[in-house]
Structure 1
Amino acid sequence: MKTKDYHPYIYFLVDSNIVFVYKIESNSYLQIDELHSSGQWETYILEEGDVFDTFLHTESKPLEGRSYLIAQERYLIMLDKINHQIHKYKKMLYDKTIPIHIACSESAAGCIRVGLDQPKRVIGFPGLLSIGPLWKINEEAGINYRNEWLFEHINFESDDYAYQVTFKNSIREINDIPEQSPIYLWYGDNADEQICLRFILHLLKNKPNKIYLLNTNALHKSVDKNQKLTYSSQLTPEDLKDIYEKHTFDQILSIQDRIQFVKEWENLLRSKNVLRIYTKQEIKEVPEDYYDSFILNTLKDLHEKRGQKEFIVTGELIGHLFDLNPSIYPIFLEYRIRHLVYSGTLELKGIPKSMRHYSVKLR
């Protein structure tokens, strides 16, 4: 599909003579469900003698009353092109002194937006870096390899491609950061946020910005020793505001520490392992079936408590597992439960299209 830029317009030649024209009306990156609701679309026909490379929509009349079905692959290409164009011009609009807060969790980022006073800009990462391959994820081949694994193994509740789009947009947001802006990097003591911390510092490795680390586990513990914290997203906007206002920020992340974090990230890129945990302040790769015995033993305990081997809704089982170990992604547990079904260890009732739609029991 041929495209061309005529900012703030982008042209897409979707057929031999059909041109879609999109007008960018915001400097915010689009998510997959916003492509039709954000901006302005018009459709044009190339008349005889018209050439796409020189076509200008301002010299033609748009079509009305027609609709076209676009394959999802093309849809994603169009979305990526629009976001790339937004990225291209966004740097010109960035306030070069505004503080940048980056959270290794979209939920935590939302709380930071609510809790902290303006001015600020907040970037949230979609997570999931503790599961799925990270092999060569800084290259197209590695990204495709990871996306294929996620597509084949993980039941996303939302659109299959929403995670990919959000992930790429988060990288764009970080690339947009002006060199003068101070950066506050929020993370917790769990595999996902620790890996994300290293990935973000890798993305920032060529930027001279001052970087301040905020370990939510350590900083919140100094405020409330009674609350057991696994993820930054467990904190309220008020908690995060309290942490930020009480922190002195008298020490920026050193060059040596930045280099070390980046080295640790680069080590992760060499492996095709699909599961990582955080233990004893270290990221550790473990086998894919690491939690299988935990799943089976928990299911066995539930059967014994109920006095019989009855089917248990997978979502309920995962709820019990998560209560026992909140550091595990529920969607990874659901994948392993499906694997145990397919391997004949568990019996299935229902259709495993989501954890709410099927039940399992021990054979």
Structure 2
Amino acid sequence: MEPNVVIVFKIENKNYLTVSDLSEKGEWKTFEINRGDDFDSFNHEEHKPRVGKGYFITQDDMNIMVEEINKHIQKCPQTLFPGEKHWSNTVSAVHIVSPEFAAGPLRVGLERPKIVIGFPDFLSIGPLRNLDEKIGQKLRNEWLHENINFEQDDYVYLNKFTNTLREIDDISDHVPIYIWCGNNADEQTGLRFILYLLRDKKNDIFIINSTKFYQRYITSKVEEQYVFSTGQIEAKNLKLIFEKSIEGKPLSDRDRKQFNKEWETLSQSKEVLRLWINDEIKGVPEHHFDTLILETIEKLHQEQGNKEFLLTARVIGEILKQMNEVIGDFFLEYRIRHLIYSGVLELKGIPKSMRHYRIRMR
């Protein structure tokens, strides 16, 4: 950006960073050097920082900086923090779950010492091709950016995705790995992708089907309630499920190869919507839920007695009550916008999020 300016960021700990971390926290200092070719020999501890002058940094440049800092944290942990043990050498198990929101109850419910990695994505939607590589992540990010209102800053999704891949890669070979999943396309797709990422690791890997064990051990003790995802289960019940399933055997090499094969097939599919049908992940057309969306709006209009505009968030809430599948509200909002642009629905407001606009049938 400036040929004689050096910006120094202080790495405080081993946690990987996002663009928002750089802009909201962390210690920065700015230095000037005589010529650009002095950079290689520059040591900030031998110079005084400049005071009273700031620089505007674009999101693109911030993302480049984040990637460089995170690469350094991963590559040189002992240089940065001499004498500290790697985190995976101090825990008894690593638990991985997708999507990320399901990690919270696991962190609360499971005994320490353990690490819980929440995968920051909803893999029942969007393209999957080459997702373990930068090119696939970029293509997926572009599709999400063009279609899904995640209501977050540019690059934050990509940063968090890449950082999670780093955390998985950092797992030491001796620690057992538990992958949690429910009977839904989101978590089952995540299971296969995570196992693919772990394909070269020698760890014992266990699969805990949270919804299956919930039906076996929990629903007989409480009011009958069917759950579809790990994130629906309370922390205390996740602890019970783990205690009941801990005696299971790790995945065999044969099973691991089969899951990897299934991921390779999934990653070649062109569908951007997947459902869990008859214990299999099935790709369906992206307009699969459009009829349900329109029927729900018609029903709400009938309850009104007229065709007043309906808050989009309310419509999506009503749709989710009728579904036996874990489909994020973000995807349904995407399909509602498609029906607006297609002239089927009428819009009032600005569709920057489901809380900011209303809809009705034309």
- After TM superposition, the score normalised by the length of structure 2 is 0.93
Please tell me whether the aligned partners of residues 312 and 360 of structure 1 are also in contact (alpha carbons under 8 angstroms).
yes
Deviation at 1:49, TM superposition (A): 7.9
2:99 to 94, 100, 105: 105
Q: What's the counterpart of residue 20 of structure 2? A: 33
Letter in structure 2 aligned against 1:310: E
Unaligned runs of 5+ in 2: 79-84
Question: Cα offset for 1:38?
Answer: 4.3
2:250 equivalent in structure 1: 252
Structure 1 residues 90-113: Cα deviation after superposition (integer angstroms, max 9, x where no partner)? 486234362111112222211111
Shift of 1:237: 1.3
Say which is worse superposed, 22-31 or 47-56, in terms of deviation.
Answer: 47-56
Match of 1:175 in 2: 169
Partner of 2:288: 290
Aligned to 1:47: 34
Matched, 1:300 2:298: yes
Aligned to 2:82: none
The answer to whether the 8 A contact 1:127-1:193 is kept is no
Q: Give yes or no for the alignment of 1:86 onto 2:73.
A: yes
Q: Does the CA-based 8 Å contact 1:194-1:283 persist in structure 2? A: yes
2:218/2:237 contact within 8 Å kept = no
Q: What secondary structure does 1:156 align onto?
A: coil
Aligned pairs (5 A) from 1:36-185: 36-48=23-35, 51-90=38-77, 93-96=86-89, 98=91, 99-185=93-179
| 1:242-293, Cα deviation, whole Å (9 max, x unpaired) | 1112224231111111111111111112123211111111000111111111
Match of 1:321 in 2: 319
Query: 2:56 is paired with a residue of what secondary structure?
Result: coil
Of 186, 191, 194, 1:192 maps to 186
**Which whole-Å deviations, capped at 9, do the CAs of 1:9-58 have from their partners, x for residues lacking one?**
xxxxx421111111211011123322144442111111258611221112
1:359 is aligned to 358
- C-alpha distance after superposition, 1:297-329 (max 9, x if no partner): 111111112111111010110010111115221
Question: Aligned in 2, Cα 1:15/1:284: closer, same or farther, shift over 3 Å?
Answer: same
Evaluate the alpha carbon distance shift between residue 49 and residue 214 of structure 1 in structure 2; reply closer, same or farther with a 3 A threshold: closer
The amino acid of 1:210's aligned partner reads D
Distance 1:144 1:37 in 2: 25
Which string of whole-angstrom CA distances, capped at 9 and with x for unpartnered residues, describes residues 34-89 of structure 1?
21444421111112586112211122111112211111111111112111211223
CA contact (8 A) 2:90 2:113 kept: no
Q: Report SS of the residue matched to 1:43.
A: strand
Matched residue type, 1:288: E
Distance 1:231 1:358, change over 3 A: same
Matched residue, 1:219: 213
Using the alignment, how far apart are the partners of 1:284 and 1:316 within structure 2? 28
8 Å Cα contact 1:97/1:182 also seen in 2: no
Task: Write the deviation string for residues 172-204 of structure 1: whole angstroms up to 9, x where unpaired.
Answer: 100000000111111111111000000000000
Aligned CA RMSD, in angstroms, stands at 1.6
Structure-2 change in CA distance of 1:116 and 1:59 (3 Å) = same
The question of whether the paired residues in 2 share the 8 Å contact of 1:155 and 1:335 is answered with yes
- The unaligned stretches of length 5 or more in structure 1 are 1-13
Q: Which residue, out of 229, 241, 244, partners 1:243? A: 241
2:11 matches 1:24: yes
Counterparts in 2 of 1:90 and 1:264: CA distance versus 1, 3 Å: farther
The CA distance in 1 between the partners of 2:115 and 2:77, in whole Å, is: 14
Q: Residue 188 of structure 1 contacts residue 217 of structure 1 at CA under 8 Å; is this kept in 2?
A: yes
Of 185, 190, 200 in structure 2, the residue corresponding to residue 206 of structure 1 is 200
Aligned to 1:6: none
Q: Cα 1:249–1:312, aligned 2, differ >3 Å: closer, same or farther?
A: same
Q: In 2, are the aligned partners of 1:18 and 1:43 still within 8 Å (CA)? A: yes
Question: What is the percentage of aligned positions where both structures have the same residue?
Answer: 48
Amino acid at match of 1:362: M
- TM-score, normalized by length of structure 1? 0.92
Of residues 139-148 and 310-319 in structure 1, the stretch that sits farther from structure 2 once superposed is 139-148
The code of the aligned residue for 1:336 comes to R
Whether the 8 Å CA contact 2:132–2:197 is kept in 1: the answer is: no
Rounded Cα–Cα distance in structure 1 between residues aligned with 2:315 and 2:106: 32
